Amino acid sequence: MFHTPIVPRVRKRSKPAEADVPRRDEVKFEDVRLYLVERKMGRSRRSFLTQLARSKGFIVEDILSDEVTHVVSEDSQASSLWKWLKECAPKNLPNMLVLDISWFTDSMREGRPVAVETRHCIQDTLPTLPEDSPPTPVASVSPYACQRRTTTENNNKIFTDAFEVLAESYEFNEIEGPCLAFRRAASVLKSLPWAVQCLGATQDLPCLGEHTKAVIEEILQYGRSFEVEKILSDERYRTLKLFTSVFGVGPKTSEKWYRRGLRSFSDILADPSIHLNRMQQSGFLHYGDISRAVSKAEARALKNIIDEAVHVITPDAILALTGGFRREKEFGHDVDFIVTTPELGKEESLLPIIINRLKKQGILLYSDYQASTFDMSKLPCHRFEAMDHFAKCFLILRLEGSQVEGGLHRAEGDSRGWRAVRVDLVSPPMDRYAFALLGWTGSRQFERDLRRFAQVERRMLLDNHALYDKTKKEFLAATTEKDIFAHLGLEYIEPWQRNA
């Protein structure tokens, strides 16, 4: 029974509520669409509660459409409620929160939708499938990112953003275990085609430990994590985050500057004892531009520029977009390309040629070229995160707005006709192309798990150069990424499914 002074049961009125002149209530909570189940509640009470919620800025739908996010019921008999819901069969039912009236009364009392807790949820106790359809077991989620398909659509951003802050904070303190644990947990949640709406839903997921679950629970309950908020306001974290956002400044340098008492860019630039290397100088010089995301259209424009630069001299050169843009991300922090040629050895001259041409065009703002140190006889490499040995260059290029379809992705009020963009080029020999492409497509977490999977499950070593079978004591050849997945006994995962 339901007794509270805030939401009293209405007495029978002579005039049905529906006949009231509808008032236009101001909508305060765009993302929440309620549906009140009439069964058990009764028509007049439903109508009263509907008006009450609308007067407090909630959207209440009259019918159970796919727009509904929160279904509220006074029917505590889960089985009969769920039977009815499934008969109504809205397509989006799996994503709806099915809640007890206590969530509604709490929300009315607070004047806002309160965070959903497990006690509010009315769990589905029915068998999931009708008898005549074949039983399909709930697909279990693999603990390896390379066995999951992860698109750019993240249904659990609220949790994964929080985990990323925690992981980074551990990284700044060089505490590797928990850092990796939070990155793995974030990656698992990113792969889910549904949003986690109560802790029970995470029960069968891999890589979620006690700490991660506590954070999830806090967010479910309060809409935020106090632990994360504490980190975000922590001076050390904020300073290291700021310093490492500069091109050429890593955690070590940031830490050194922090220990010296430096807290801002002006502190650094005003300190005569600080020596900035060439990369860092460019990092500060172009900070505004290169800390701003690069758009897909800008990435395409850069591809045209590099394409032109390389093909003038080497008509048979191969140029491929890699990194986040190959995974079909809309925005990135830089643009990554692989460039090579079919003739082995000739790829070594490609980058200097491209760099020269960009310089002549007046668009090379910064260039750090590293010649190849690749030596097949030094393989296989046992270190996971080791940089590869291919020739590569880290560039900052000047991109003209006129070259970008739809214009530059620029700060508001910036009227310059150009912007600076970070570009990475890597140039492996053609017989290493598939490994380099797989390694540079990312994501970082996908790569980590590919290597871990190879090592742990297959006794193989994988890096950007090669795949080595420790049992057979031999290298496995590959001309395409598909060959590598096949050697590893993995289903092929498309680049756009590697956003782990």
Q: Is 168 in the site for ligand UTP (CB under 6 A)?
A: no
Q: CA torsion 188→189→191→197, rounded to 10°?
A: 140
Among residue numbers 208 through 247, which ones bind Mn ion (CB under 5 A)? Answer: none
Q: Is 388 in the site for Mn ion (CB under 5 A)?
A: no
Cβ 399 to ligand UTP shortest distance, Å? 16
Using DSSP, state whether 355 is helix, strand or coil.
helix
Pairing state of beta strands 318-322 and 474-475? unpaired
Q: Is 449 in the site for Mn ion (CB under 5 A)?
A: no
Cβ 317 to ligand UTP shortest distance, Å? 20
**289 included as an active-site residue:** no
Which residue, 102 or 280, is less far from ligand UTP as judged by CB?
280
With contacts defined by CB under 6 A, name the span among 24-32, 73-81, 373-381, 436-444 that binds ligand UTP: 436-444
Give the tokens for residue 244. Answer: 């490492």
Among 283, 323, 429, 439, binds Mn ion (CB under 5 A): 323
Alpha carbons 220 and 427: distance in angstroms, whole number: 46
Which residue, 69 or 160, is less far from ligand UTP as judged by CB?
160
What residue 171 binds from ligand UTP, Mn ion, none (CB within 5 to 8 A, per partner kind)?
Answer: none
* Cis status of the peptide bond prior to 380, with omega within 30 of 0: yes
Alpha carbons 56 and 49: distance in angstroms, whole number: 11
Alpha carbons 425 and 430: distance in angstroms, whole number: 15
Place of tokens 């871990």: 452
Among residue numbers 348 through 387, which ones bind ligand UTP (CB under 6 A)? Answer: 387
What residue 442 binds from Mn ion, ligand UTP, none (CB within 5 to 8 A, per partner kind)?
Answer: ligand UTP
Residue 328: how many other CB atoms lie within 10 Å: 15
How many degrees, rounded to 5, is the angle at CA 496 between CA 491 and CA 499?
90
Which residue, 43 or 444, is less far from ligand UTP as judged by CB?
444
What residue 449 binds from Mn ion, ligand UTP, none (CB within 5 to 8 A, per partner kind)?
Answer: none
**463 included as an active-site residue:** no
Q: Taking the CA atoms of the chain, what radius of gyration do you get in angstroms? A: 28
Q: For ligand UTP, what does the binding mask look like between residues 323 and 352, x meaning CB under 6 A?
A: xx-------xxx-x----------------
Cβ 239 to Mn ion shortest distance, Å? 25
Which residue, 58 or 325, is less far from ligand UTP as judged by CB?
325
How many residues belong to the chain? Answer: 500
Which residue, 215 or 305, is less far from ligand UTP as judged by CB?
305
Alpha carbons 223 and 81: distance in angstroms, whole number: 27
Alpha carbons 215 and 199: distance in angstroms, whole number: 10
Among residue numbers 305 through 324, which ones bind ligand UTP (CB under 6 A)? Answer: 323-324
Among 100, 289, 298, 336, binds Mn ion (CB under 5 A): 336
Q: CA torsion 119→121→126→132, rounded to 10°?
A: -150
Q: Is 439 in the site for ligand UTP (CB under 6 A)?
A: yes
How far, in whole angstroms, is CA 101 from its chain's centroid? 34
**424 included as an active-site residue:** yes
Which residue, 324 or 429, is less far from Mn ion as judged by CB?
324
Among 53, 442, 468, 481, binds ligand UTP (CB under 6 A): 442
- Identified catalytic residue from 75, 106, 289, 336: 336
Cβ 369 to Mn ion shortest distance, Å? 18
What residue 289 binds from ligand UTP, Mn ion, none (CB within 5 to 8 A, per partner kind)?
Answer: none
Residue 41: how many other CB atoms lie within 10 Å: 19
- Identified catalytic residue from 124, 307, 368, 424: 424
Q: What is the 3-state secondary structure (H, E, C) of 172-212?
A: HCCCHHHHHHHHHHHHHHHCCCCCCCCHHHHCCCCCCCHHH
Residue 472 CB partners (closer than 8 Å, separation 6+) = none
How many Å is the maximal CA-CA distance in the chain?
A: 92
With contacts defined by CB under 6 A, name the span among 178-186, 338-346, 395-403, 441-449 that binds ligand UTP: 441-449
Catalytic residues: 334, 336, 424
